[in-house]
Structure 1
Amino acid sequence: MTKHFKSAFRQEVAELVVDKGYSIREAAEAMGVGKSTVDKWARNLRKERNGEETHDTPISEERRRISALEREVQQLKMEKEIFKKGHSSLDVGLNEKFALIEEMKGSYPIKSLCDAFEIHRSSYRYWEESSKKIRPEDLRTDIEVKAAHELSGGSAGSRTIATLVTSGGYDLSRYRASKSMKRQGLVSCQPPKHNYKPANKANITIKNNLNREFSPISPNQVWCGDVTYLWVGDRWRYLATVLDLYSRKIVGFALSNSPDSALTKKALSNAFKARGKPTGLMFHSDQGCHYTSLLFRQLIWKYQIKQSMSRRGNCWDNAPMERFFRSLKTENMPKNGYKNEALANDSVRDYIYRYYNSVRPHSHNLGLSPNEKEGFYWKASNWLARKG
């Protein structure tokens, strides 16, 4: 069995040989220590006093203090590096701290990392073991989340995915959806919030009759429209859409190589015919020339639609329409645009009819798709008509 001697005892034995003239044998017999051990201690003490480096445990008290200070400095340097790599902040949650330790454990001792983040090593070990275990419910959640993410074309975030999965019969919160996305490395392509500079210049002849009242009480009461551009092949192609504000449903659209009045007229005509030529309708748009032109306004008069226009340079006055275009471009359009016109036409049509109107949950509809919200409205209307 290996014996362990205290530092003060090693120093005392070495000083018998170095300072008091004892031979190695005499000191070993007097203190009950092996001769080779006494010889090593004595040699190390002489080296320390001469300022030479030794690779063994320090003998003298002064050398021990220096060694302790060196270890403390080294520890402080290590903790400083850990803080820098830990994003210069410890003001994060427990799971984030565990994740940082896991990321840096290849470069630093786990004990030092746990000390720096003020975490017990046993807590980290427990987290490490539990994170490797896949529970059956987590496996089911991952499958559902991945399917919803693929259905959205990789665009849906945790809120939309939670709504889609829950509507399919599997109860899922936004928090659990977010955790599952992180486990699988799924990322939403939604862009961050953008700050717009508001303006207040209204059109001289057409007022802002809508005035941001974006929540009508029935379908075919208020429509809004706008034109955006899509990169197709090696040129721009333009999309005009018409949206029913009640359900946020796209009720008509048209594509063209020119952003002119013919395009906006075609989109409005498609919507008007598809919705059964409704009466008492208001149409809201921005002040683009394709909406202020005589040709477009003649169509408005023909359909007996009340026209409303946003204030110039104020995109918030037509926010629902702008929001749809953002969804289309982030959720459907490739980063480098569509390859050709046929592919662009099919992709836009599929996105609107098969996904946006039919499947995609909308916060304005309390998580329902546009078709579902309108379906509930017409069902309730028919029931009230029969009852009356």
Structure 2
Amino acid sequence: MAGSRRSFSREYREEAAKLVIETGRPIAQVAKELGVGEVSLGKWVKDYRAAQGGDESPLDVSERARLRELEREARDLRLENEFLKKSCRVLCQGSSVSDRFEFIDAQHAAADKDVDVSTSLPVTRMCRILDVSRSGFYEWRTRPMSGTAARRGELSRLVVGFFEASDGTYGYRRIHADLVAQGVECGPELVRQVMRELGLRPCQPRPWRFVLTAGDGQVHDVPDLVRRDFTAAEPGRKAVGDITYIPTDEGWLYLATVIDCHTKAVTGWAMDDNYKTPLIETAIHRAVRNGHLTDNAIFHSDRGSNYTSATFAATLASLHIRQSVGRTGICYDNAPAESFFATLKNELVHRTRYPTREHARRDIARYIELRYNSRRRHSALGYRTPREVHHAYHARKSAIPTVV
């Protein structure tokens, strides 16, 4: 009795045909391995080629070998081109052989972590491209670390630590100040070079600003007692203030501030869903209640309708504070307040999305009290913190002998 006729699925026929085409092996050999007839397999191969690319004649074994060789050469050229782009720093004039060895070692270490070894060059080829000896490279790797390299490694570790502690906001000058405060001897240019090598880039401000300052159309006889002199001999004698907005998913949150001109600390602040006069009154009351504004102190602001209102003027008079305002629309007349808002938005607000006003309020309050006032270094203070300046003032004051 004749055996039943075997049937093969379309997928099976295509895979069998591809086995012949892609490996370049004879049909008879593949047919024997699969246990199918040579005639049937030949027909499958012909049908597959017709479906894929017409009647183009297949490549023979030597042509396929040449194709693979050309593909390998193209891949090697691509890898060498990418390697040369990366190595431009160590090929420039003034770079040492050790710089090239360090670069090769870094590329080799990165290749060890990559599962696909075809995407990296071997050490021998990297040495040839950079015109250094392979034996010299391996001899360099076995040397003990020099004292200079060890110190640079420790400096890199400290720089990364201070950069992360600042939440990615510090540039090389503030990180240099942190290092000096820890007793680390180094120059600011060295810190900048290390940060550049490590790829540490602080957040940058956005070139967009929306102005809230709007007058009420009336003439107000309020003098400018500051005249852009934002210094003060002691805390509590001179302060500036302004209002800004914080975007949240619920709508705007408005922040009013009082900033001391001696310590640069935010001594009073208030937040609400509007920027009416009670908002700035709350901020000034908080500064007074915390003991950060003395009698006859100066409070300076812009000419916004809230700051020039009769209600706010009466509030300042009741607190024995002299009022001062700058010109309308001139940001330099209230530079410290503008500077604080730029810093707040660059370091916090523009990097955060707030679902509610309450989320924003808590985050900004934490930034002001726990970071800006206490830990953030200010260029205007010689890269000291407001807390350090406040303590230094009282230390000097207590050191002065009392005259009886």
TM-score between the two structures when normalised by the length of structure 2 = 0.62
Query: 1:308 Cα deviation (Å)?
Result: 0.6
Q: Which residue of 2 aligns with 1:299?
A: 315
Tell me which residue corresponds to 2:100. 128
- Distance in 2, matches of 1:319 and 1:172, equals 32
Structure-1 residue corresponding to 2:272: 256
Residue deviations 1:311-355, cap 9 Å, x none? 111000111111111111111224353232232122112211111
Contact 1:220 1:278 in 2 (8 A): yes
Partner of 1:244: 260
Amino acid at match of 2:202: S
Q: CA deviation at 1:118?
A: 7.8
Distance 2:247 2:353 in 1: 5
Structure 1 residue 320 corresponds to structure 2 residue 292: no
Distance of 2:299 and 2:259 partners within structure 1: 9
Alignment correspondent of 1:382: 398
User: Structure 1 CA distance, aligned partners of 2:285 and 2:309?
Assistant: 16
Q: Secondary structure at the match of 2:376?
A: coil
Runs (5+) with no aligned partner, structure 2: 1-77, 106-140, 210-214
Shift in CA distance, 238/385, structure 1 to aligned 2, threshold 3 Å: farther
Q: CA deviation at 1:260?
A: 0.9
Query: What does residue range 9-24 of structure 1 map to in structure 2 within 5 Å?
Result: none
CA contact (8 A) 1:315 1:322 kept: yes
Determine whether 1:106 maps to 2:84.
no
- Residue of structure 2 equivalent to 1:185: 199
Rounded to whole Å, the distance in 1 between the matches of 2:83 and 2:154 is 36
CA distance in structure 2 between the aligned counterparts of 1:209 and 1:203, rounded to whole angstroms: 17
- Identify which range, 133-142 or 276-285, moves more after superposition: 133-142
Instruction: State whether residues 154 and 187 of structure 1, in contact with CA within 8 Å, keep that contact through their aligned partners in structure 2.
Output: yes
Flag the 1:119–1:272 CA change in 2: closer, same or farther, 3 A: closer
Q: Contact conserved, 2:242 with 2:337, CA < 8 A, in 1?
A: yes
* Deviations 1:216-242, CA, capped at 9 Å, x for gaps: 111111000000000122311000010
Deviation at 1:208, TM superposition (A): 1.3
RMSD: 3.0
Q: Aligned equivalents of 1:315 and 1:142: distance in 2?
A: 39
- Matched positions, count: 275
Does 2:388 align with 1:372? yes
Sort the Cα spacing of 1:340 and 1:166 in 2 relative to 1 into closer, same or farther, 3 A: farther
Question: Which of these residues, 135, 140, 154, is aligned with residue 168 of structure 2?
Answer: 154
Structure 1, unpaired ranges of 5+? 1-103, 196-200
User: What is the 5 A alignment of 1:17-166?
Assistant: 106-107=80-81, 119=93, 123=95, 125-130=97-102, 135-166=149-180
The residue matched to 2:303 in structure 1 has which SS?
A: coil
Cα–Cα, structure 1 residues 109 and 253, in superposed 2: closer, same or farther, change >3 Å?
closer
TM-score, normalisation: structure 1: 0.64
| Deviation (angstroms), 1:126 | 4.0
Shift of 1:270: 0.4
Separation of aligned partners in 2, 1:204 and 1:312: 12
* Cα offsets for 1:83-132 (capped at 9, x unmatched): xxxxxxxxxxxxxxxxxxxxx9932997xx99xx8849xx5644312455
Aligned to 1:59: none
Report the equivalent of 2:64. Answer: none
Match of 1:339 among 355, 361, 367: 355
Residues in 1 aligned to 2:173 and 2:292: alpha-carbon distance in whole angstroms:
34
The answer to whether the 8 Å contact 1:231/1:336 transfers is no
Q: Which amino acid in 1 is paired with 2:307?
A: Y
Question: Equivalent of 1:348, from 347, 355, 364?
Answer: 364
- 1:76 match: none
Give the match for residue 220 of structure 1: 236
The 1:127/1:308 distance shift into structure 2, 3 A limit, reads same
What is the CA-CA distance between 1:367 and the residue it aligns to?
1.6
Contact kept, 8 Å, 1:152 with 1:331, in 2: the verdict is no
User: CA separation in 1, counterparts of 2:219 and 2:303?
Assistant: 7
Are residues 209 and 277 of structure 1, via their aligned partners in 2, closer, same or farther at CA, if it must alter by over 3 Å? closer
The amino acid of 1:286's aligned partner reads D
**Aligned-partner residue type, residue 163 of structure 2:** H
